[in-house]
Structure 1
């Protein structure tokens, strides 16, 4: 094992020793009250939830329409009675020559119960689809919230590591300028500082992506929950 890798391992252990007491677990950062507020918000604001609500209302209207369809089997009409119109005037004083009639379409009447049942089944399907999606959206919010908290915890660790690396490179730079530290050791610490800084930037980007993903399902900015 080269001296460079020994230094890298030693520096990593030092960073862990400093960061572990500050952030041993992400569990303490999980706010279940906040999580429930997020779930409730997603159920109201997420566009696809509104889509399922529209489908339920549409299905309810379909049931109402199917019930009123009983009248589709009834036809009201007037028939012209030629013999009445040609009758003597004395007999036409109370008759107009037209008589109303009601016609029944037995096929439409017999099929109406099945049509109503089908409309009710479509309503049940719409309601079950919404219930299923509600469960899915609850799980999705939880997954994205936990991912966001995880990325924040990682960022905290890497920020502390980057801060420690910055302190180390400042100290070794001072020693190097005084001539009590070698350039080889100084350059190795600079490499470690560069790596720590890069890791911090990557962690920041991961937090931003997790935040955007969570806000997408919520239909709201996280700042609204402060």
Structure 2
């Protein structure tokens, strides 16, 4: 029993020590220049950005409408009554054109407040956009770092499975030469299967992280230069 676990432990230490030399940190895989390109792409393409920018456009349009609506307080009307025309329903005492100007004082007094409120709506819409810029930027960074982590782990697990395959082939040769027991050979095969399963899990995590990041970019990472 002791020999079985000693053999398995020795094999695991051998794989980890060889692979650790090739992948000691993920920091070397991080490119902040590329990250800035990802952030810019997300701000340009992510659909929700259009929602916030559309609110600003609507708010600015409302300001223009309120500023032009000053003229709504004034109204003009005229009546034309030809000479020698008798209208018993609406008697008129003057002939020819009759012009009338109307002035709505209440509307005039409300205009400054309406214009100010419309301008405040523009500011609020801009604040919402600025806030979402920060939120989107943070989310892109988080997903990018997760993506790099998954990529680094995939490289590590790929190296581990490759090393496990080499050791497995070596152990198989020794088993065929009766240099090791069947139990040791079986343990090696189990370890190799475990390495393959870890690699498959790493591949899945990498694809999920990649898809999550590309969701914000609305395009493939490979398309961004």
Normalization by structure 1: what TM-score? 0.90
* Pair 1:78–1:30, CA change in 2 (3 A): same
- Determine whether 1:10 maps to 2:10: yes
Q: Write the distance in 1 (CA, Å) between the matches of 2:121 and 2:111.
A: 15
**Aligned partner of residue 21 in structure 2, secondary structure:** coil
* Pair 1:86–1:134, CA change in 2 (3 A): same
- Give the paired residue count: 218
Show the 5 A alignment for 1:183-194: 183-194=182-193
- For residues 118-155 of structure 1, the C-alpha deviation after alignment (integer angstroms, 9 at most, x for no partner) is 11111111101000000111111111111100001111
**Aligned partner of residue 75 in structure 2, secondary structure:** strand
Q: Write the distance in 2 (CA, Å) between the matches of 1:52 and 1:167.
A: 56
- Determine whether 1:225 maps to 2:224: yes
What displacement does 1:20 show? Answer: 1.5
- Asked whether the 8 Å contact 1:148–1:207 carries over to 2, the reply is yes
* Pair 1:3–1:96, CA change in 2 (3 A): farther
Show the 5 A alignment for 1:22-37: 22-37=22-37
Partner of 1:47: 47
What displacement does 1:81 show? Answer: 6.6
- Asked whether the 8 Å contact 1:73–1:105 carries over to 2, the reply is yes
Partner of 1:100: 99
- For residues 92-117 of structure 1, the C-alpha deviation after alignment (integer angstroms, 9 at most, x for no partner) is xxx85232111011111111111111
* Pair 1:172–1:105, CA change in 2 (3 A): same
Partner of 1:177: 176
- Asked whether the 8 Å contact 1:85–1:97 carries over to 2, the reply is no
Q: Write the distance in 2 (CA, Å) between the matches of 1:85 and 1:8.
A: 121
What displacement does 1:5 show? Answer: 4.1
